[in-house]
Structure 1
Amino acid sequence: MGDACGIGPEIIAKWWQGRPAALVIGCPAVMRRAVLSVGRGAELQVVPVSSVGDVAGLAAGDMAVLTPPGLPGDVIDAPLGQIDERAGRAAAASIREAVRLAQQGLVAGIVTAPLHKEALSLAGEPYPGHTELLQAEGAPPGQPPAPVRMMLANDQLKTVLVTIHVSLRQAIEQVTYDAVLETLRITHDSARLWGQPAPRIAVAGLNPHAGEGGLFGDEELRIIGPAIEAARTMGIDASGPYAPDTVFMRARHAPPAHPGEFDVVVAMYHDQGLIPVKYLGLDQGVNVTLGLPFVRTSPDHGTAFDLAGTGRADESSLAEAARMARLLVSGCQAAPAARD
């Protein structure tokens, strides 16, 4: 459901159309409000369910909503368009239930509507966002969380990040040989799920002009370049590091006039990788968490508090996230296991 005070419930209500194989995890009352907000009260029935198995007995147009353990009973009272601790608790509870169902094999994949990081923090969650919470919850009992990476993608460009929700100063410190090499490995192994078993991976430099041979910084010489060489010895088609101000244009795939030179770009930090994709259009972008033991996607926009309750939020990115989730689920079922 995402943050109850944002547009997540509304874009779900807009997107929902004859989807008996889908399930909303969240608050039925919040989803009813969203259905009314987008003007679908006469055609769409919100039906509370107690298990995944109940979905099979519903009509095609019914919206099955499963209330997760720990959902605040008064989350419907949290005011729209505002940061609220109850909404943060509800979002976290919904994610945990979704992960539990995925781990049990009861759902094939998870599509998360936007949550608000400040609301999550007010709820006492130690995680800065979806990715870190999913990583922690997805770990098998007694085992450390598996390394994961954030990918933002649309039809023209895919970028995977070495570092994500940290300050820029911390991001630079976290650009290590191991982090870059692991990002390349995760990207390579995950690409088979969307039909590219041998992706051409371009690696962006950290510094202007990729360091210009050490004139503007030596991370490319000491860290990024050696990690690329190590990846190539593992059979990964990685190249670079390339100047960050041109590599995304080179990778942009917009045939026939502009076929991309690369299939995916590995970027060193959050804004370096996400700005190019978002510039191409928020309505088509999808966030994918690579490395999890289950499929997870989400829209590439936030909670848009200024639009909450207006019914004007655009559901296109959510629709793309759902489409990508189904594609990746199909890839998981068809692809061989990734290397250890």
Structure 2
Amino acid sequence: MALTQDQRSLFTAIAAPWLDRGEWPIWASIQHYFDQRDQDADAIFHSLPRVGSEVPFAAGYGFTNPMRAPISPRDRVRLTVATSLVLPEVRMVAGEPFVRTLRHMIDLYTSTPILNDDVPTIILRSRELVDALPNLKPWFVKVLPDLLSYEPGISTGGVHLGDGSWEREVTRSVWQFRHVHTVEDYIEKTCEIVAKNAAQYAPVAAVEEEAALVIAKPERAPYIDLDLLDDLDQAAQKISWKVHKLIALCRELNDNYVAGNPYACAALIRAILDHIPPVFGHQDFKQVAAQHVFAVKRTDKAHAQRLAAFKDIADDVMHRPVSATVPVISMSDLPEPARLNAVLQELLSILQ
């Protein structure tokens, strides 16, 4: 089931304060946002696809936490990890770190011995998590307990301590995710779990029909944001730069990314990076990454530098000849979509 642009806009509105401050918005603020656009936020929310049913909790899953009509204006609305399929920024800062953390929780569970009749309590502690996965951002570590609380396949309880740290229990529920290595794997497995749970409370045919909404998808969201492409299209009508090739490359990248074609994606990302430097006043993208002063200096410059480093992988894709040992490129080897989107947003600002 394809999502509408209104549904995607709802996700973006909910995500904005969470990504900015780590706080989920109250429903009244979302209603107000859509009221200003003469749209019905409640209708959009209740049109979202879900697996299973709203109750009991572990028998349902969707892009948001379940909220029955009428939604109270003071209720807080949350996104789930499933939104990583739709919003590249959520995937980068929450979805992929969540999967890495889940792998760590599985390791904790499987490596803890059970001796005789003693059943140990396995605890995930925020301080120990930072040591085990040093690349996790402080923002993600802070919001992780709340994320865990609304992922129905994972059963955890825990406490927040006075010094700002937290503890969560790791139960056997994580073991069912032992074959999960990507965001897509995780969402597919979660949908499978909740559909099985929902079958206990609803006719099987109805559950299977509902499960198809998410399980048959997890299709990836486009690599390049569609609104950004529309903005580039509009800008092309008013500028001297000819960006039709850039737009075509971006659209082909989106098609291949959704289809899961890593070699084509890598080649197209390389082509885009080779194509855009003149707009920034440079000859190649390494100069853009090293010398351009981005509007969001630290973050977007880091995105550009990561993309510049990716050219080595793209070169491998395009130029390594056949031999007895050729490394395989997978979708996980591609740079996070948010990086190229940020650079293209900067390019759009220059064009405008």
TM range (shorter): under 0.3
| TM-score between the two structures when normalised by the length of structure 1 | 0.26
Higher percent of residues as helix: 2
Tell me: higher relative CO, structure 1 or 2? Use CA pairs within 8 A at least 6 residues apart. Answer: 1
Higher percent of residues as strand: 1
| TM-score between the two structures when normalised by the length of structure 2 | 0.26
